[in-house]
Amino acid sequence: MIDLVAFIPRAVGQSIPLLFGCTGEIVTEKSGNLNLGIPGVMYVGGICGVIGAFAYEQATKDTGMVGILAIGIPLLCSLIGSLLMGLLYCFLTVTLRANQNVTGLAMTTFGVGFGNFFGGSLIKLSGSDVPTIALSRTSAYFSRSLPFAGNLGWFGKIFLSYGFLAYLAIAVAVYAGFMLKKTRMGLHLRAVGENPATADAAGINVTVYKYMATCIGCMIAGLGGLYYVMDYASGIWSNDAFGDRGWLAIALVIFCIWKPGLGILASILFGGLYIIYLYIPAGMDHMELKELYKMIPYVVTLVVLVVTSMRNKKDNRPPASLGIPYFRENR
Amino acid sequence: MKKETKEPLFHIVKRKSMPLKKQWLVRGIAIAAAILVCAIVTVITTKMNPLSVFSAVFTGAFGSTRKVWVTLQDTSILLLISLALTPAFKMKFWNIGGEGQVLMGGLGAAACMIVLGDKIPDPLVVLLMIISSITLGAVWGVIPAIFKAKWNTNETLSTLMMNYIAIQIVAFFTIYWEVPKGSGKIGIINQNTNAGWLFEIGNKYLLTIMIAVLVTVSMFIYLKYTKHGYEIAVVGESEKTARYVGIRPGLVIIRTMLISGALCGLAGLLLVGSVHHTITTTITGGQGFTAVMVSWLAKFNPISMIFASLLIIFLSHGASEISTSCGLNQSFGDIITGIILFFIIGCEFFIEYQIIFSGKKKGGNEA
Q: What tens digit of pLDDT does each residue of A28-74 get? A: 999 988 888 999 999 999 999 999 888 888 888 777 777 788 888 88
Q: Which of A33-42, A274-283, A305-314, B116-125 is the most confident on average?
A: A33-42
The whole-angstrom distance between A302's CA and the closest CA on chain B is 6
Q: What is the DSSP string of A228-271?
A: IIIIITTTB--TT-STTHHHHHHHHHHHTTT-HHHHHHHHHHHH
User: What is the pLDDT at residue B50?
Assistant: 73
In a 3-state reduction of DSSP, which class is residue B199? coil
User: What is the pLDDT at residue A43?
Assistant: 93
Which residues does residue A73 pair with via DSSP β-bridges, in sequence order? none
The stretch B144-170 carries a mean pLDDT of 88
User: What is the pLDDT at residue B365?
Assistant: 41
Determine the Cα–Cα distance for residues B151 and B294; give it in Å rounded to an integer: 29
Interface test with B, best of A84, A105, A330 (most B CBs within 10 A): A105
- Please give the residue of chain A at the shortest CA–CA distance from B339: A110
Of B160, B339, B348, the CB nearest to A247: B160
A17 has pLDDT over 60: yes
The stretch B39-67 carries a mean pLDDT of 80
How far is the CA of A47 from the CAs of A120, A133, B150, B263, B327, in angstroms? 11, 11, 42, 37, 20
Distance of alpha carbon A237 from its chain centroid, rounded? 17
The whole-angstrom distance between A161's CA and the closest CA on chain B is 31
In a 3-state reduction of DSSP, which class is residue B355? strand
The stretch B198-225 carries a mean pLDDT of 86
The whole-angstrom distance between A288's CA and the closest CA on chain B is 5
Q: What are the tens digits of pLDDT across the range A225-242?
A: 999 988 888 878 877 777
Q: How confident is the model at residue B183 (pLDDT cuts 50, 70, 90)?
A: confident
Percent of chain A's residues with pLDDT above 70: 92
B364 has pLDDT over 50: no
Closest CA to A169 of A8, A328, A13, A6: A13
Say yes or no: A113 contacts chain B, CB-CB below 8 A.
yes
Q: How confident is the model at residue A131 (pLDDT cuts 50, 70, 90)?
A: low
Q: Which of A109-118, A147-156, A208-217 is the most confident on average?
A: A208-217
ipTM metric: 0.85
Say yes or no: A99 contacts chain B, CB-CB below 8 A.
yes
Q: Which residues on chain A are in Cβ contact (under 8 Å) with B175?
A: 287-288, 291
Angle between helices A260-275 and A296-311 (to 10 degrees): 150
A279 has pLDDT over 70: yes
The whole-angstrom distance between A160's CA and the closest CA on chain B is 33
User: What is the pLDDT at residue A314?
Assistant: 67
Closest CA to B76 of B274, B223, B229, B331: B274
User: What is the pLDDT at residue A187?
Assistant: 92
Residue spans per domain, chain A = 4-316
Residues 5-34 of A with CB under 8 A from B: 34
CATH class of the domain whose range is B66-314: mainly alpha
Report which DSSP code applies to B12: E
Determine the Cα–Cα distance for residues B27 and B297; give it in Å rounded to an integer: 10
Closest CA to B142 of B253, B248, B258, B251: B258
User: What is the pLDDT at residue B359?
Assistant: 62
User: How does the average pLDDT of chain B come out, rounded?
Assistant: 84
Say yes or no: A289 contacts chain B, CB-CB below 8 A.
yes
Contact A250 B157 (CB under 8 A): yes
Interface test with A, best of B43, B86, B96, B153 (most A CBs within 10 A): B153
The CATH number of A4-316 is 1.10.3470
Closest CA to B34 of B277, B365, B342: B342
A184 has pLDDT over 50: yes
Say yes or no: A303 contacts chain B, CB-CB below 8 A.
no
Q: What are the tens digits of pLDDT across the range B346-361?
A: 888 888 888 877 765 4
The alpha helices in chain B, defined as continuous H runs, are 20-46, 50-62, 65-90, 98-116, 122-151, 155-176, 206-225, 227-237, 239-244, 249-270, 287-297, 302-325, 332-352
User: What is the pLDDT at residue B367?
Assistant: 36
How far is the CA of B64 from the CAs of A25, B54, B58, B320, in angstroms? 46, 16, 10, 15
Which residues does residue B354 pair with via DSSP β-bridges, in sequence order? B13
- Cα angle B64, B67, B70 (rounded to 5 degrees) comes to 155
Q: Which of A279-293, B109-123, B212-226 is the most confident on average?
A: B212-226
Say yes or no: A84 contacts chain B, CB-CB below 8 A.
no
How many CB atoms neighbour CB A189 within 10 A? 24
In a 3-state reduction of DSSP, which class is residue A92? helix
How far is the CA of B110 from the CAs of B130, B264, B283, in angstroms? 11, 15, 12
Q: How many residues does chain B have?
A: 367
Of B94, B160, B329, the CB nearest to A117: B329
Which residues does residue B187 pair with via DSSP β-bridges, in sequence order? none
Q: Which residues on chain B are in Cβ contact (under 8 Å) with A117?
A: 328-329, 331-332, 334-335
Contact A298 B168 (CB under 8 A): yes
Of A77-86, B105-114, B275-284, least confident by mean pLDDT is B275-284
User: What is the pLDDT at residue A150?
Assistant: 66
How far is the CA of A26 from the CAs of A209, A258, A306, A314, in angstroms? 14, 6, 19, 17
Which residues does residue B14 pair with via DSSP β-bridges, in sequence order? B353
Interface test with A, best of B147, B174, B345 (most A CBs within 10 A): B345
Asked whether the beta carbons of A107 and A34 are under 8 A apart, the reply is no
Interface test with A, best of B167, B331, B347, B348 (most A CBs within 10 A): B331
Residues 6+ apart with CB under 8 A from B78: B287, B290, B291, B294, B309, B312, B313
- Within chain B, all domains assigned CATH 1.10.3470 are found at 66-314
Determine the Cα–Cα distance for residues B204 and A179; give it in Å rounded to an integer: 60
User: What is the pLDDT at residue B142?
Assistant: 93
Could you tell me how many CB contacts below 8 A there are between chain A and chain B?
166
pTM for the model stands at 0.87
B28 has pLDDT over 70: yes
Of B13, B160, B331, the CB nearest to A116: B331
| Single-letter residue type at B61 | A
Asked whether the beta carbons of B53 and B322 are under 8 A apart, the reply is yes
Of B292, B330, B335, the CB nearest to A105: B292
User: What is the pLDDT at residue B36?
Assistant: 87
Contact B334 A112 (CB under 8 A): yes
User: What is the pLDDT at residue B3?
Assistant: 57
Longest dimension (CA), chain B: 97
| Single-letter residue type at B359 | G
User: What is the pLDDT at residue B363?
Assistant: 43
Q: What are the tens digits of pLDDT across the range B219-235?
A: 999 988 999 989 988 88
